[in-house]
Structure 1
Amino acid sequence: MQAKFTATEMMDYLEEVFPQIRSDFRVEHLDGETVTMRMLIGDRHLRPGGTVSGPSMFALADVAAYVATMAPIGREALAVTTNISMDFMRKPAAGADLIAQAKLLKLGRALTVTDVLVYSEGEEKPVARATLTYSIPPRR
């Protein structure tokens, strides 16, 4: 599948439709099938004990799946998450950014399915894994 955005164009699009997330995420790679996203970790993402919170990891997985869905279909701001299953497997490294590696497994007319592995920067083993389904509104 060919991407309809470059990483820079996708960041511009995200800032347009979701300006509230501009300081949290960076698209590092997209190619129409895979996406690499970085979550820039700050104090607002931490839970007691100094580790990244589950809701922050969830947000990274969800945004990465959204980007993986948008890359091959183009501008469709109203695509929405219809299902997510997420496993938290180990504690993220303190203070490290999180990196999501997303792979679009299915691109249908109405649904996409994306697998996302979340890593602490510099670590080999993932800290979380998610599978997400997105609903794509019908084209008129």
Structure 2
Amino acid sequence: MLDKTVMDAAALEHFIDTEFAQVKGEFMVEEITADGVVVRLLTSAKHLRPGGTISGPAMFGLADVGMYFAILSRIGPVALTVTTNCSIDFMRKPEAGRDLICETRLLKLGRTLAVGECHLRSEGRTEVVARASLTYAIPPKRPENMG
């Protein structure tokens, strides 16, 4: 069931640009995989912290959007799907000047809950800079919950 997608990359990007205009143009869907998505954070000076590295909030945001995209790619534009839990381990300093890449993997996609994990890497690098585990609540199917 996880490999059945209902929203492609263009639809996901359009959805985030219209429903969450505050982050318009920051995220790009690289690929929809059999069990998740690969998303890029187009980093800029606003994502940096002192010390010349990408900030923790920027990395958290990428993991959160990555998992949101993974879920919506399978269930459609359900705007009120929300994060209920996130645990993130920051393991290495990501490189400033490189975009961040988030590889997501859905572990469970039920009617009311979705669980997944993300690995974040600096573009062009193999080392994981952060790992996140996320749980989302999926609202009941009602017209007002659809995007």
Q: Does TM-score exceed 0.5, indicating one fold?
A: yes
Moved over 4 A (4+): none
2:109 equivalent to 1:91: no
2:64 equivalent to 1:48: no
- Report the counterpart of residue 123 of structure 1 in structure 2: 125
Residues 11 and 27 of structure 1 are in contact (CA less than 8 Å); yes or no, is this contact kept in structure 2? Answer: yes
Superposed CA RMSD: 1.0
2:116 equivalent to 1:114: yes
The Cα shift of 1:49 comes to 1.0
- Report the counterpart of residue 59 of structure 1 in structure 2: 61
So what's the TM-score if we normalise by structure 2? 0.92
For this pair of structures, how many residues does the alignment match? 140
The Cα shift of 1:100 comes to 0.1
State the secondary structure of the residue aligned to 1:127. Answer: strand
Q: Structure 1, unaligned stretches of length 5 or more?
A: none
Q: Which of residues 90, 101, 104 in structure 2 aligns to 1:102?
A: 104
State the secondary structure of the residue aligned to 2:93. Answer: coil
The Cα shift of 1:32 comes to 5.9
State the secondary structure of the residue aligned to 2:77. Answer: coil
- Report the counterpart of residue 77 of structure 1 in structure 2: 79
So what's the TM-score if we normalise by structure 1? 0.96
1-side partners of 2:60 and 2:7: how far apart?
24
1-side partners of 2:47 and 2:25: how far apart?
12
The Cα shift of 1:20 comes to 1.2
Deviates more, 1:41-50 or 1:9-18: 9-18
The Cα shift of 1:33 comes to 2.2
State the secondary structure of the residue aligned to 1:33. Answer: coil
- Report the counterpart of residue 145 of structure 2 in structure 1: none
* 1:48-94 deviation per Cα after TM superposition (whole angstroms, max 9, x unaligned): 01100000000000000100111111110000000000000000012
Residues 4 and 32 of structure 1 are in contact (CA less than 8 Å); yes or no, is this contact kept in structure 2? Answer: no
1-side partners of 2:7 and 2:29: how far apart?
11
